[in-house]
């Protein structure tokens, strides 16, 4: 079985494109997307990265606040 690797957005299944675009907007680009990466997996990756960024932002902000 040969696994197809996607090199351009136009080759990806349509449900995957918005999530890959969101990853790129977060500064992350994967060179290893293939047909084994499903929408659920990529969506969870995006959500986890956004949550991590938010937690980092929140902890940085809270450390600098003087009460």
pLDDT tens by residue, 2-60: 778 887 888 888 988 899 899 899 998 877 787 778 889 889 999 999 999 999 988 88
Other Cβ atoms less than 10 A from the Cβ of 17: the count is 15
Residue with tokens 């960024």: 53
Query: Which of these, 59, 58, 52, lies nearest to 26 by C-alpha position?
Result: 52
Query: Which of these, 20, 65, 64, 66, lies nearest to 46 by C-alpha position?
Result: 20
Is this structure's pTM higher than 0.75?
A: no
Residue with tokens 């940085």: 60
* Domain range list for the chain: 9-64
Distance CA 11, CA 31 (A): 13
pLDDT in the model for residue 22: 92
> For the chain, how long is the longest CA-to-CA vector?
61
């Amino acid at each position: 079985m040969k696994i197809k690797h996607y090199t351009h957005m136009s080759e990806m299944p349509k449900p995957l494109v918005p999530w890959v675009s969101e990853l790129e907007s977060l500064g992350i680009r994967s060179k290893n997307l293939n047909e084994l990466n499903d929408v659920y997996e990529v969506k969870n990756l995006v959500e986890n990265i956004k949550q991590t960024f938010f937690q980092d932002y929140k902890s940085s902000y809270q450390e600098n606040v003087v009460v």
